Amino acid sequence: MNQSYSPLTLAEKLSKLPIKPGIYQFKNADGTVIYVGKAKNLKNRVKSYFQERPMDAKTKALIRHIHDIEIIVTDTETEALLLENNLIKEFRPKYNILLKDDKSYPYIRITNELFPRLFSTRTIIRDGSKYFGPYTDGRYLQYLLRTIRSLFPIRSCDLPLTENSINQKKYKVCLDYHIKKCEGPCEGFTDPVSYNTYMMQATMILNGKTKVLEQHIEQQMLSAAENLQFEEATLMRNRLSLLREYTGKQKVVVTDLIDRDIFALSIIDEDACIMILNIREGKMIGKTHYFISHADEKAKEEMLRIAIEKYYLESEHIPEEIYLPFPIIDEEYSLDWLSEKKGESVHISIPKIGDKRKIISMAETNAAFMLRELHLQKALKDQALPRGIASLQKDLRLESAPRKIECFDNSHMQGTDYVSSMVVFFDGKPKKSAYRTYKIQSFVGNDDFAAMREVVKRRYTRAVEEQQELPDLIVIDGGKGQLSAAVEILQSIEQTKHIPVIGLAKRLEEIFFPHQSESLLLPRTSTGLRLLQNLRDEAHRFAITFHRKLRDKRTLQTELTSIPGIGPKTAEKLLVHFGSVKGVKNATPKDWEECIGKKGAELLLKGIQQL
């Protein structure tokens, strides 16, 4: 006897949640993952969403759309955090807080090789290489790289150096070796241990550990002088001078030598910026920031927690102390994970007064500055006209820039399945969410002018009634007749009388204007003409696609579904399997039987013989 198992309901799943660490995924009615979270105790955390408690707007909206829950149990809380991070990257759920960092900022990479290389890059490759940054100041980055290369003889070539290639003497030393900027690892003139000592010291500089390095180089200099190794002592003296020059240019913000990262949050309008300042040995050596959109709907404590997790998942160094402007959600969870990753205890502090609070205020000032700069960039981008838009405004002599353009086209086959399409371009790019298709209803037969009158009337009557944003320019695919039909309707609607409208005839790419006998021919190289051509081609493609869909549906209904016993579902199954009605007719009864069963195949055979 066969048993059927019905899926568990949401309430049943909630009652069966384990008391273990792991991640949970909330899904909507379509099965789409809309939120991914982690928990020390899955049962308590997931149930908390369905209990009466104060919630922010984002959480309330999330709960309304939860239709299913899926969990993954992990052995440790750290595993849960890493899995959560990977799933958020994979699914990009709607209700998770997604941090945006500026990917254009470069990092410094130390490669995972026998003789590592050190250089700037904008691409992160997870191959064991170490990354430092990002560096928001390009000039400082280049200065830092020059300083490190002047201090240490690190190779600048990209040769794939291995023990085998060195033993076989596959490579020859370059100019850097002769001017003492490299010790020649390509020919085996230095060993990996000595070379990696330089890389370790370079890493100390990148991590801000210059005090210890200064003492080490100074000791080497004194030791060389005592042993009468004056050339070596001079080299160490020059390195020490360069290092002190570099550290002297760093801003001192605290007097003690404890490593700290300072987190701060600033919210302006709907945007937030989280700023992280890196302080090493009392000096600020770098900063990083994340932007969050729709921040007004999210809890600031959760935004800060997610920023901390993201930052230290990608960071090579975790400091002894972390300063926060306010407590975060699940602070104990984050603290345990950070301490485990560092290998020693990490302290989270929330300063209220004094110099420590001033450092957070400085970070908040930087965050607010980044937000104002972001808003300024957005404003400038909104004001900047794409080249095609500016060209079209000039060519058509329009009073205002045609940033929003709507274009209409008709499609039919000898008067059957008559349809029209409207496509929308904003700032020269398709806005597909605003595309519309129309079935022509006012007549039967072939009448392009009547079709254009109908679709223009339907479009703008509704747009006015619903107070939708009207376009800056209307483009009609066709010549004078189609243009006149559209203008007739536009002039009858008070709100659309002022909208510029043109016709575009395909044969010579002529542009027609209302109430003018002469057309306009733009140069083939005109960016404005290319924009109009793209509009027209997109409207034509959209109309043709809709027309074919209707025609295929009508064909399916008039041929396959006219067979007794063959309903719409069976007809659709046949069409999907064989590709078309013609494919169904050309198939054998045995093929039909495999698709719809023996009885269905018998009905289909009898029906097709009568078609």
pLDDT in tens, 436-482: 988 887 776 678 888 899 999 999 999 999 889 999 999 998 888 88
Q: Which two tokens stand for residue 355?
A: 């110099």
CB 82 within 8 A of CB 89: no
Q: Are residues 277 and 329 in the same domain?
A: yes
407 shares a domain with 523? yes
Of the candidates 272, 329, 334, 275, the residue with the CA atom closest to the CA atom of residue 309: 334
Judge if 572 and 605 occupy the same domain.
yes
Per DSSP bridges, beta strands 321-323 and 347-349 are parallel
Res. 1 pLDDT band, cuts 50 70 90: very low
142 and 124 assigned to the same domain: yes
The residues, any chain, with a CB within 8 Å of residue 119's CB and separated by 6 or more, are: 108, 109, 145
What residues make up the domain containing 519?
A: 389-534
Which of the listed residues 91, 120, 135 is the one where a domain comes to its end? 91
DSSP conformation class of 53 = -
Quick check: is 185 in a domain?
Answer: yes
Domain count across the chain: 5
- Per-residue confidence band for 100, with pLDDT thresholds at 50, 70 and 90: confident
Mean pLDDT of 57-63: 83
In tens, the pLDDT along 275-292 reads: 998 888 777 777 888 898
Q: Looking at the domain assignment, is residue 273 inside a domain?
A: yes
Residues 69 and 192 in one domain: no
Place of tokens 């169904």: 584
516 domain-assigned = yes
Note whether 441 and 404 are same-domain residues: yes
The answer to whether residue 404 is domain-embedded is: yes
Between 300 and 580, where is the model more confident? 300
Average pLDDT estimate for 94-116: 81
Residues 345 and 471 in one domain: no
pLDDT digits (tens, 9 = 90+) for 245-282: 877 766 556 567 788 899 999 998 888 999 998 888 77
Average pLDDT, the chain: 84
In terms of domains, do 528 and 582 share one?
no
Asked whether residue 370 falls in the same domain as residue 267, the answer is yes
Co-location of 586 and 477 in the same domain: no
User: Quick one: which H or E segment has residue 368?
Assistant: helix 354-383
Strands 130-132 and 321-323: unpaired
Helix (H, G, I), strand (E, B) or coil at 543: helix
SS3 assignment for 177-242: HHCCCCCCHHHCCCCHHHHHHHHHHHHHHHCCCHHHHHHHHHHHHHHHHHCCCHHHHHHHHHHHHH
Nearest-CA neighbor of 26 among 78, 97, 96? 96
Please report, for the domain that includes residue 354, its CATH number: 3.30.420.10
Query: What would the mean pLDDT of 346-357 be, rounded to a whole number?
Result: 87
Q: Does some domain include residue 237? A: no
Q: How many CB atoms lie within 10 A of CB 414?
A: 7
| 301-330 confidence digits (pLDDT tens) | 889 998 998 888 877 788 889 999 999 888
pLDDT band at 170 (very low <50, low <70, confident <90, very high): confident
Residue 227 lies in a domain: no
Q: Which of 171, 193, 208 is the last residue of a domain?
A: 208
Which residue type does 145 have?
Answer: L
Same structural domain for residues 137 and 66? Answer: no
Cβ partners under 8 Å of residue 291, min gap 6: 99, 100, 101, 271, 272, 273, 370, 371, 374
What's the pLDDT tens digit per position in 512-543? 999 888 889 888 888 889 999 999 899 888 88
- Contact criterion met (CB below 8 Å) for 182 and 154: yes
Asked whether residue 509 is domain-assigned, the answer is yes
Residues 461 and 327 in one domain: no
